[in-house]
Amino acid sequence: MEILKDVEIVDGYPALYLKKLETLVIADLHLGFEWAIAQEGIFIPTTQYQEIFKDLQHLLEEKQPELLIINGDLKHEFSKATSQEWREVIDLLTYLDKNVKKTIVIRGNHDNFIRGFFKRYNNVEFVEPYLQLENYLLTHGHKEIEEDILTREKYDLLIIAHEHPAILLIDDLGAKIKTRAFLHGKTKQEKEIIVLPAFSPLATGVEINLTPQEELLSPILREYVDIMQLEVYAISKKTETLKFPKLALWHSLTHL
């Protein structure tokens, strides 16, 4: 579904496609998530990588992009690298190096101890904290960004991640469905902004329709956006992308 000129959500997937640049954008893979939570005594099946790999392979075959951008949080664990995490990171980057013309990973808050890895690849790069391509500015979104970057004329669309936006729908019988979602609107500086959902199927994230603005994770969303004016696009593998009205209207309907 096209949400801006030359910018489309790939239906069924937490992925954005920038047509003019033939560029696929994803974020928040959080590889190694299962091992990190196992350290805290929570054990879940270790199937995330297979699912991420299958989805990404499908997207790369469908779009044949010139460039793949991973907008932060390729991996999960903060402090020490677990061996599982590294196996998955190396396996994925090796695949991308061979099968995609170029891949750029933008540093997220979980991407520590990783820079050295990129030296071994010819077609995979690591950058921080921003990447600007023509009129698009991409950054993970965990840090404040300087006012001059927000206001400068050189770009029209800011693409962030980090928030892992999702919506929670509750039917009359109380059944709950949580689904990952894109957010789209304008910053207070009148730039277009898109927030990517997590590519990780396990990190479904923040229920944007139930969370007050001041409790959001990204300082960019907390400070430079009126979240009530954002439109929500829910992704579902079974249907097309579902467009919801602005959060303001939604709140007025559900908070009677």
Q: Where does this chain bind Mn ion (CB under 5 A)?
A: 73, 108-109, 162
Shortest reach from residue 92's CB to Mn ion, in Å: 17
Min dist CB 108 to Mn ion, Å, is 4
Strand ranges for the chain from DSSP E = 2-4, 7-9, 16-18, 23-26, 67-70, 103-106, 124-127, 130-133, 136-139, 157-160, 165-170, 176-186, 192-195, 206-207, 231-234, 242-244
Q: Nearer Cβ to Mn ion, position 34 or 73?
A: 73
Beta-bridge partner residues of 182: 233
Residue number with CB closer to Mn ion (73 or 77):
73
Site of tokens 């304008």? 186
Nearer to Mn ion, 111 or 241 (CB): 111
Question: CB-wise, 126 or 241, nearer to Mn ion?
Answer: 126
3-state secondary structure 15-30: CEEECCCCEEEECCCC
Q: How far is the CB of 142 from Mn ion (least distance, A)?
A: 5
Q: What's the Rg (C-alpha) of the chain?
A: 18
Strand, coil or helix: what is 63? helix
73 or 85: CB nearest Mn ion = 73
Nearer Cβ to Mn ion (58/143): 143
CB of 110 vs Mn ion, minimal distance in Å: 6
Minimum distance between the CB of residue 232 and Mn ion, rounded to whole angstroms? Answer: 20
Would you say 24 and 190 are in contact if contact means Cβ atoms under 8 Å apart? Answer: no
- Residue nearest Mn ion, CB atom distance: 162
Q: How far is the CB of 140 from Mn ion (least distance, A)?
A: 6
- Measured in degrees and rounded to the nearest 5, phi and psi for residue 215 equal -95, 0
Q: What are phi and psi of 157, to 5 degrees?
A: -130, 125
Which spans in the chain are helix H? 33-38, 48-63, 83-99, 147-151, 219-224, 247-254
Q: Which residue has the tokens 């949400």?
A: 3
Choice between 159 and 241, CB closer to Mn ion: 159
Residue 141 CB, nearest approach to Mn ion (Å) = 7
Instruction: Yes or no: say if 23 and 133 are a contact pair by the CB < 8 Å rule.
Output: yes
